[in-house]
Amino acid sequence: MENPSKARQYKPKDWLKWLIPVSLVVFVSAMSFFPAWIEQVYSVKIYPYIAQVQRAMTGWLPFSLGDIIYGVLTVWLLVKIFKTARAAIRKKITRKKTTQRALRLLRFFMWVYIIFNFVWGWNYHRKGLEYQLQLPIGKYHSSEVKQVLAEVVQRLNENRLVISTDTVLPSRSFSQFRLEAKKCFDSVAREFPFLSYSNVSVKKSIYSAAAQYFGFTGYYNPFSGEAQLRTQIPEVMKPFIICHEIGHQIGYAKEDEASFAGYLASAASRDPYFRYSVYLDLYISVRRTLRGVSFLEKDTSVGRVLAEYHQRLDTLVRYDQRKMREYFRKRQGYFSEEVSSVVLGVYEQYLRANAQAAGLKSYDDVISLLIAYRRKYGRI
């Protein structure tokens, strides 16, 4: 029989270790059902100050603090898992200690979830750009998608010829891209003040070299407030990716909304390179959207239509697209495909868990916003 004097005495702080995080997890989860509060209070009045403080603290650093934090935490977690597994194999750990370690890890992830939502994650549940711009979102037909595709093709041709009549696009430094992206948001904020952006914090990803195995071109770190760019990609992709990630920074968590914020900023730019970059990305999305809508409408002519629009592209635009495809094809191997498929599968579930039921296809939902924007403003 256990000696009562030696039995562990539970103190209030032992219960608080669980009561506080569990209560906060319930609170955080419950608030996701109140998008009006999130939009009108959190996203507009609270989050901008959180984000500006984050960017003020990290923007001046010449390296990505968030990447370093991710790296340290990953190593720490792997070491903990390795030590626990080794102790279990050597039978130097009891079931009780294993349970305690598992519970501590669970509590750690609960705090991560809480902090994630407080500093950014609630933005997944806001009403967003559809509400702010009062866009007439609704069902659309292939005819509207074709109109958007025709205008995107026209913008691509116009901007490509303004940039250069040579096959070689001019190169830009990372600092030039970052500075011009800030100017893009300054321009669009004159018409839409809620897209204003200050305290620039856009960094080169430390993990750019390994990115080909994971499939990302950019990402946002909500814990440090930094936007990350994968530098080892075709130059022409970088302007829009940076603007997309800034879209996340200013509070648009959903991928389609971050892309649309990036589109509005890039399209408002005086720099044809930025305009060209965004229309290159939209061209891919609108083609996929047209295939999907045509399938639902049982339109078998979609292949011929897409081929016709592709032929309308200037030869320089087609050349740029071909070079981009070649770039990624050369860096795609069996191992990278396997790793990328696993990572994308995890990311798919992450998107679905954060109010994006379409998963990876949610990136193409930007076309729905674009069509609604065209309905209201008569232009793209």
What's the pLDDT tens digit per position in 321-345? 999 988 888 766 544 554 444 444 4
Question: Which pLDDT belongs to residue 9?
Answer: 54
**pTM over 0.85, yes/no:** yes
CA distance 305 to 133: 32
Quick one: average pLDDT of 202-225?
86
- What are the CA-CA distances from residue 81 to residues 78, 205, 241, 378 (Å)? 5, 26, 35, 57
Residue 379: predicted pLDDT: 86
| Per-residue tokens: 380 | 């793209």
pLDDT-derived band at 354 (thresholds 50, 70, 90) equals: low
Higher-confidence residue of 127 and 339: namely 127
pLDDT value of residue 11: 62
Q: Which residue has the higher pLDDT, 307 or 338?
A: 307
Q: Is the pLDDT of residue 312 over 60?
A: yes
Within 10 Å of residue 329's Cβ, how many Cβ atoms? Answer: 8
pLDDT at 3 > cutoff 70:
no
Residue 220: DSSP 8-state: E
Question: What tens digit of pLDDT does each residue of 105-125 get?
Answer: 899 999 999 999 999 999 999
What is the arithmetic mean of pLDDT over 348-373?
62
% of residues, the chain, pLDDT over 90: 61
Q: Which whole number is the average pLDDT over 1-13?
A: 51
Count, residues in the chain: 380
Interval 72-87 mean pLDDT: 84
Q: What is the mean pLDDT of the chain?
A: 86
278 band by pLDDT with thresholds 50, 70 and 90: very high
Write out the H or E segment, with its range, that includes residue 221.
strand 218-221
Give me the pLDDT at residue 82, please: 84
Average pLDDT value for residue range 178-206: 95
Q: What is the pLDDT of residue 13?
A: 67
**Rounded Cα–Cα distance for residues 133 and 135 (Å):** 5
Q: Are strands 218-221 and 226-229 parallel, antiparallel or unpaired?
A: antiparallel
pLDDT band at 359 (very low <50, low <70, confident <90, very high): very low
**The predicted structure's pLDDT at residue 364:** 56
| Mean pLDDT of the region 158-176 | 92
The helix (run of H) or strand (run of E) holding residue 373 is helix 366-377
pLDDT of residue 139: 87
